[in-house]
Structure 1
């Protein structure tokens, strides 16, 4: 205590600003570490800078089947974009290489020039949309394969989406992509970007 003033310690540092869709532009490029033979444990051969939309287009047909319902593909397109956007804000350094994602299931399966007309359409239809908490915070939308012919109820409400579940919900239950996303990521909303 000095002169009647109580010092409560060292001033707290200002908190880092939350990265949201409102204060953080969608990336134009993403750095992809290319691992030997698309092997998650393979060595990194090089880091390739790829256009962000091109990257998303070359991930969707490798994570969601192009034959799946348009609503499942749209839900997948948004999840892939949000996952990758988050990764560009949290890069990794390994073996002297700095990258945002690699080309394997360590992140998302990326294969250069693998986009198909139907998956590219799903990317285009959802490109100006983000799925995030109400405050717009950029979060990593996690997903797992799940199991065939079920909504994968174990994932519902878990903030982890089931890829096979999106197909079931889009094709059998006839839900829209926004309803599918809401089942797995409750409390998040679609934002225009």
Structure 2
């Protein structure tokens, strides 16, 4: 046996002797820290991969770095309808912000480009400088609001279109918000945006930052 082998054997015997004496310290498993609103700051910018014509299958042309609040303002009118009830827009603004915040913490590299989100429905539809007075106000009115599990973990608030003129009961309690459903509950049922969010994400909590 070579020199290194002998040393390994001696080390092995030493370990066995410690085990036999019951002196081996217990193994401690270190858990990754949860990224939460308590240890993670709201982003100041976000990197958006731009695909031509907002085509989710098109190659990336470039990556645009934009202010995080401006990004949310340029997404909301393209995911929610600006003429919808203001409470529906504010529910949408919170969902868009939480979705984007999560992905700034989980960037992607594709064909040499590193980005947080792209400008298509792969993530959220983004059109530069497309904000409207109503949707910009919804973003501003909810900017200090987050919607998270009780531990404050930053998770994406998923949403889907749903069906016009309907309560979209299929989505209620599913942790996926219906965009058309938010409009129904805001305009027909006169729910506030926290109430709308609670319909879809019942185990989440409204918090202020």
CA distance in 1, matches of 2:186, 2:37: 27
Corresponding residue number in structure 1 for 2:182: 166
CA distance in 2, matches of 1:169, 1:58: 24
Aligned-pair CA distance for 1:36: 1.4
Structure 1 unaligned regions, length at least 5: none
Q: Which has the larger radius of gyration?
A: 2
- Range 26-35 or range 150-159, more displaced: 150-159
Corresponding residue number in structure 2 for 1:5: 22
Indicate the RMSD between aligned Cα atoms, in angstroms: 1.3
Give the 5 Å matches for 1:1-193.
2-5=19-22, 11-193=27-209
Aligned-pair CA distance for 1:4: 2.5
TM-score (norm 2): 0.89
More helix by share: 2
CA distance in 1, matches of 2:201, 2:28: 33
CA distance in 1, matches of 2:138, 2:184: 17
SS of the counterpart of 1:83?
Answer: helix
Structure 2 unaligned regions, length at least 5: 1-15
CA distance in 2, matches of 1:6, 1:132: 43
SS of the counterpart of 2:21?
Answer: coil
Query: Which aligned segments of 4 or more residues in structure 1 are displaced greater than 2 angstroms?
Result: 1-4, 6-9
SS of the counterpart of 1:178?
Answer: helix
Equivalent pairs, count: 192
Aligned-pair CA distance for 1:135: 1.1
